[in-house]
Amino acid sequence: MNNFVASLKKILTNKNTVTILGTLVGIAVLYFGYSWRINQQVEQISVLVAKETIQPRTRITSSMVETISIAKVMYNKMQGEYGSGQSVMRYSSELDTFENGAYSNVNALIPKGSTLIKNVNVVDRSSIPSSVLLKIPEGQVPYAFSINYSDTYGNAIMDGMYVNIYMKAIGGDGKTMIGKLLKDVKVLAVLDSSGRDVFENTAENRTPSTLIFGVSEDLHLLLRKANYLSQYSVDLIPVPVVASVSDEDYKGSIEVTSSYLKNFIEERTVNVPLDQLPENNTPNVSTEGE
């Protein structure tokens, strides 16, 4: 035993032996360290991608997505591009974390195979803004005009176009009358029954339900009155303007083209004066100390 210890001690004190052992240890450290780093780089991690092309403002369900594996280094690089509250989604169960449902963002077309990014191209339904009201010209108010597919001439009426509003009604003599009520009304949006833009989704055949346009307060009241004259079978009909109308010519002005039809409506309705409220309708407000 003593001879073995003496021999081992002699070997370890030999400079050549120490050099060789040091070299072997260094190589082993480099090898295992390099292998560890490589494994870290190529380690696979699951991410969520679109199984199909997802149109803007679309409810995203688990059937529309799938998980794929990518290198962890790629995932880290992608994740580093986004700020606080934004993250690369990894599992379909994350779609259930959106309180009002997970939706593709406004104008965020998600191609097949693309990653889903929380709070970037995938957002909560409540955070999707409606841009329609932002298009209302100053001094006008929005008006929602109910329509059906035939009213739009088979989806021929689109946002940005101009229409004339015709009116049909039964007069006091029982005769049907029809004429042009308003001229050059600019369509700001065409929505379906769910409030979605009919033309923003190229993969769906959405049925138009409402035209949105802006009018002055006086014309807004005139149209409301006409709609409530059900006893006269009033029907308002949008007709596309065939002649070209530019925004420069338009300037937000809408003309009443038939004083006869306007008077027909006005004579059968009453305006409520907003500046003549009865005194007894004034709320009693008490203040502290009284």
46 three-class SS: strand
The sheet carrying 189-191 orders its strands as 141-146, 210-215, 189-191
Beta bridge partners of 183: 255
List the structure tokens of 35: 């292998």
Instruction: Write the CB contacts of 213 (distance below 8 Å, at least 6 apart in sequence).
Output: 142, 143, 145, 185, 186, 187, 188
Q: What is the pLDDT along the chain (290 residues), one digit of tens a residue?
A: 566 556 656 655 666 666 776 677 777 777 666 666 666 666 788 999 999 999 888 889 999 999 999 888 888 888 888 877 889 999 999 999 998 889 998 878 899 999 999 999 999 887 776 667 767 888 889 999 999 888 888 888 988 899 999 999 998 888 999 999 999 999 998 988 888 788 876 667 788 999 999 999 999 999 999 999 989 999 999 999 876 666 555 555 788 999 999 999 998 888 777 665 556 554 444 434 43
**Can you give the pLDDT at residue 152?**
87
CATH code of the domain occupying 44-127: 3.90.1210.10
d(C-alpha 231, C-alpha 213), whole Å: 26
Q: Would you kindly state where each structural domain of the chain is located, as residue ranges?
A: 44-127, 133-266
Q: 64: closest CA among 75, 74, 49, 78?
A: 49
167 three-class SS: strand
pTM of the model: 0.55
Q: 167: closest CA among 61, 79, 76, 258?
A: 258
